[in-house]
Copies of this chain bind each other. A is one copy, B any other.
């Protein structure tokens, strides 16, 4: 579809959240279709996890987004989908890869939302594809467990914060979940949640550096808990780390089933977003360093630095591999 002014920031760059939402919709369609292809019981595929994704080049207003999706692995109860997004300038015909994402879905019964159904197996062209898929499946399973433990954290408000401290840029928004945000099961689409998360992360980044910012990458996101129609969700973001030219922002989503529900507020999702600041010519700008004050902030800064160096090392290894081929 054609990118509109509402999909983009003032500089005309399409929000990462808009792209994540398109990716998730494509993934939900292909995996729901697959899971119902042999099912005795109708089901809806629910997003369980999105692997880390890099935004390779910004998309602009007026460009057309081409989204393609393919099922690349199935376990007994989950589906792995690979989604590619290309941006196409229909005036010049130029096409660019915007990003690739890998998503994991789980089929939930339409009659009983707490029942996970079995996934029909796919055929692999080569045995290695199945083995590699299985490896990815095991890896993400481990990672899911890990983030579950991180989930107790809350963001505390700060009065009169100094510029460039964590408290200075931290932000949160609340959103009442409406019917158009939800799947047939009455739970929020993962894509809707990711769009709100990107919105908050973008505001944190812009408050910190006061320039035009764009989403550079999103770390793996795990959807631990479903969010029901009618809930109020609070999406909060705080900066955890800055390198010379990038900012890492941690985003939490808490759901508050405040009408007709005997349940307490709970953490539904958390994730790390990385932003860069761009000049008017689209070049990355230096970013003011984050000032950490408390012990927790210093610890999180070091953890962020770890993730940053790890990603950098991985990317260099990939580039060397590519150069050798």
- Chain A contact residues, CB within 8 Å of chain B: 1-2, 4-6, 9-10, 25-26, 28-29, 32-33, 36-37, 42-44, 61-62, 64, 88, 90-93, 110, 156-157, 159, 163, 171-176, 178-180, 184, 199-200, 202-203, 206-207, 210-212, 229-230, 232, 256, 258-261
Find A203's partner among B29, B37, B90 (CB 8 Å cutoff). B90
Interface contacts beyond A2-B202, A44-B91: sample of 4 additional A-B pairs, CB < 8 Å, sorted by A? A2-B203, A33-B64, A172-B174, A206-B258
Rounded to whole Å, the gap between the CB of A65 and the closest CB of chain B is 10
Find A5's partner among B29, B90, B180 (CB 8 Å cutoff). B180
CB–CB A110/B91 < 8 A? yes
Find A6's partner among B6, B9, B26 (CB 8 Å cutoff). B6
Rounded to whole Å, the gap between the CB of A72 and the closest CB of chain B is 19
State in angstroms the CA–CA spacing of A62 and B15 once bound together. Answer: 13
State in angstroms the CA–CA spacing of A178 and B4 once bound together. Answer: 11
State in angstroms the CA–CA spacing of A157 and B167 once bound together. Answer: 13
CB–CB B199/A1 < 8 A? yes
CB–CB A259/B93 < 8 A? no
CB–CB A93/B36 < 8 A? yes
CB–CB A4/B2 < 8 A? no
CB–CB A93/B37 < 8 A? yes
Q: Do A36 and B212 form a contact, CB below 8 Å, given A4-B179, A5-B178, A176-B199? A: no
CB–CB A28/B91 < 8 A? no
Assembly stoichiometry (copies): 3
Enumerate 28 A-B pairs (CB-CB under 8 Å) in ascending A order.
A2-B202, A5-B5, A5-B180, A9-B230, A26-B174, A29-B258, A32-B258, A33-B90, A33-B232, A33-B256, A36-B93, A37-B93, A90-B206, A90-B207, A90-B210, A91-B206, A91-B211, A110-B259, A171-B174, A172-B172, A173-B173, A176-B202, A176-B203, A178-B180, A184-B259, A203-B232, A207-B256, A210-B260
Rounded to whole Å, the gap between the CB of A160 and the closest CB of chain B is 10
CB–CB B36/A90 < 8 A? yes
CB–CB A29/B61 < 8 A? no
CB–CB B176/A25 < 8 A? yes
State in angstroms the CA–CA spacing of A184 and B212 once bound together. Answer: 22
Residue of B nearest to A205 (CB): B90
Find A179's partner among B163, B180, B207 (CB 8 Å cutoff). B180
State in angstroms the CA–CA spacing of A110 and B33 once bound together. Answer: 30
State in angstroms the CA–CA spacing of A263 and B267 once bound together. Answer: 36
Q: Do A176 and B259 form a contact, CB below 8 Å, given A2-B203, A157-B157, A232-B207? A: no
Residues of chain B within 8 A (CB-CB) of A26 are: 174
Rounded to whole Å, the gap between the CB of A214 and the closest CB of chain B is 13
Give the 3 A-B CB pairs with smallest separation, nearest first: A157-B157, A42-B260, A5-B179
CB–CB A29/B260 < 8 A? no
Residues of chain B within 8 A (CB-CB) of A179 are: 4-6, 178-180
Residues of chain B within 8 A (CB-CB) of A174 are: 26, 29, 171-173, 200, 203
